[in-house]
Amino acid sequence: MSKRKERIDRGIKVRSEDIFALLSWKEMLYLAGPRVLPVAVFLILPLLLGPYWQKVLLSVGVFALLAISWDVMAQTGMVSLGQALFFGMGAYVAGICNHLLGLPPWLAIPVATVAGAFLCTLVLVPVLRLRGVYFSMVTMIIPLMLVRLIEATKIFGGTEGLSGMTPLGSRWIELYLIMAVMAAVLFGFRRLMESDRGLVLKAVNDNDRSVINAGINIYWIKTQVLFAAGAVGAFAGAFMTHIYMFVGMPVFALDYSILPIAAAVVGGPGSLAGATLGAFILVPLSEALRGIGGLRIVFYGLFLVVFIVALPEGIFHFLQRKYHQFERWVEVQ
């Protein structure tokens, strides 16, 4: 006498799938809820928090952007272990623009976003042919090497870095800038992934040789994704530079590579929303654990393992399933 779990779509999901959703408020709310909720959170959260947690919210935004850019690349078959490359490139370009060339932040950040993404793409284009773990290893090594290179050649301030960047002005500009960019990137990339172009991107991940067979140049596709993801990461770096008014070797640190992956894994890879959710959970958690000092990295590592082993789909997919479907145990015939 054994049982199995049966998952069935909720009635409301089926009813709200076509135009008849417009007949009732309940169905419209069912459809709009998941889309409005994050925007509402992005808008209201800055107003509710105190100055300390507002600062945390800024780094939540930065890590969410990095996690989204990781997820976009991972969905195209490029699993990066070095988001720090994008982050650091953006940060250094912004630092150089502002500190050495004297550009104001509203010019330095866009310039750093584009130029940083361009530089990252240039660095990674020669290794686009590599697949799987080999690509990951290259991305892991490049930031490590850049750190040592800056240390050895003492360019751009060497070990001391560049400091004294122009701040953005008010805390509210900072908060709503990062929230707006996060919302734009999240919904923009989600829309892209739903489109035909997104289908091609996912196909590159699933079976790149058959995409080549279809007469599509996968290297050009990968280059585009690299540039887009690089721009998101570089923006995060440039933004952080102007928040901390400092750029130095720590921008290439392992944190900026590991934390975004952790966020995407915990939240649920392959949905972008999961990556954002993961950042909203992990960054405040690590802030709350600051009291126990070095132990928090221990928890972090264990957290990663538990999620990879026990809940590989991530939190977002779990919630999504509960939202759309109900489950029941049925007798096996």
Partner 1 sequence: MLAGTIVYALINAAILALMAIGFNLTFGISGVANFAYGAFYVLAAYGVWLMIHLAHLPYPLAVVLAIAINLVLGVLLYRFVLQRVRGQALSEVIATFGIGLAILELFRYFGLVGFEYTLPVFIDTSVVIFDTYVDAQRLFVVVLAAALVGLLWLFTHYTRTGLAFRGIAQDERTALTFGINADRVAALSVAFGAALAAVAATIIVPLGSISPEEGYDVLLKALAVCIIGGLGSSVGVIVASLVVGFAERITDTYVGSHWTMIVSLAAILAVLVVKPSGLFGKQKQLEERI
The binder of partner 1 chosen from 19, 47, 309, 332 (CB under 8 A)? 309
What's the closest the beta carbon of residue 114 comes to partner 1, in angstroms? 25
Stretch of 17-25, 45-53, 132-140, 275-283 lying at the interface with partner 1 (CB under 8 A)? 132-140
The binder of partner 1 chosen from 31, 127, 216, 281 (CB under 8 A)? 127
Q: Do residues 68 and 83 make contact, with C-beta atoms less than 8 angstroms apart? A: no
Q: What tokens appear for 244 in the block?
A: 């901390």
What's the closest the beta carbon of residue 17 comes to partner 1, in angstroms? 33
Q: Please, what's the b/e burial string for 276-288 (b: 16 or more CB within 10 A of its CB; e: otherwise)? A: bbbbbbbbeebbe
Stretch of 191-199, 241-249, 282-290, 293-301 lying at the interface with partner 1 (CB under 8 A)? 293-301
How far is 113 from 91, CA to CA, in rounded Å? 9
Is 126 a residue that touches partner 1 (CB under 8 A)?
yes
Binders of partner 1 among 67-86, rule CB under 8 A?
79, 81
What is the amino acid identity at position 257? Answer: S
Binders of partner 1 among 135-194, rule CB under 8 A?
136-138, 141-142, 144-145, 148-149, 151-152
How far is 52 from 57, CA to CA, in rounded Å? 9
DSSP 244-261: HTEE-GGGGSTHHHHHHH
Nearer to partner 1 among residue 104 and residue 132 (C-beta): 132
How far is 255 from 312, CA to CA, in rounded Å? 22
Q: Do residues 94 and 108 make contact, with C-beta atoms less than 8 angstroms apart? A: yes
Is 265 a residue that touches partner 1 (CB under 8 A)?
yes
Binders of partner 1 among 198-237, rule CB under 8 A?
208-209, 212, 218
CA distances to 17, 36, 191 from 22, in Å: 10, 17, 22
What's the closest the beta carbon of residue 80 comes to partner 1, in angstroms? 10
Is 297 a residue that touches partner 1 (CB under 8 A)?
yes
Q: H or E segment at 35?
A: helix 25-48
Is 48 a residue that touches partner 1 (CB under 8 A)?
no
The binder of partner 1 chosen from 96, 109, 236, 261 (CB under 8 A)? 261
What's the closest the beta carbon of residue 314 comes to partner 1, in angstroms? 12
What's the closest the beta carbon of residue 270 comes to partner 1, in angstroms? 12
Q: Do residues 81 and 140 make contact, with C-beta atoms less than 8 angstroms apart? A: yes
What's the closest the beta carbon of residue 260 comes to partner 1, in angstroms? 12
Is 106 a residue that touches partner 1 (CB under 8 A)?
no
What's the closest the beta carbon of residue 167 comes to partner 1, in angstroms? 33
CA distances to 99, 131, 188, 197, 231 from 185, in Å: 28, 26, 5, 16, 10
Number of Cα atoms under 13 Å in the Cβ half of residue 328: 6
How far is 260 from 135, CA to CA, in rounded Å? 17
The binder of partner 1 chosen from 294, 331, 332, 333 (CB under 8 A)? 294
Is 134 a residue that touches partner 1 (CB under 8 A)?
yes
Is 129 a residue that touches partner 1 (CB under 8 A)?
yes
How many residues belong to the site for partner 1 (CB under 8 A)? 43
Residue 84 has a CB neighbour count (10 Å cut-off) of 31
Backbone angles phi, psi at 151, to 5 degrees: -65, -40
Residue with tokens 């697949």: 131
What's the closest the beta carbon of residue 120 comes to partner 1, in angstroms? 15
Is 295 a residue that touches partner 1 (CB under 8 A)?
yes
The footprint of partner 1 (CB under 8 A) covers 79, 81, 126-127, 129-134, 136-138, 141-142, 144-145, 148-149, 151-152, 208-209, 212, 218, 258, 261, 265, 293-295, 297-305, 308-309, 312
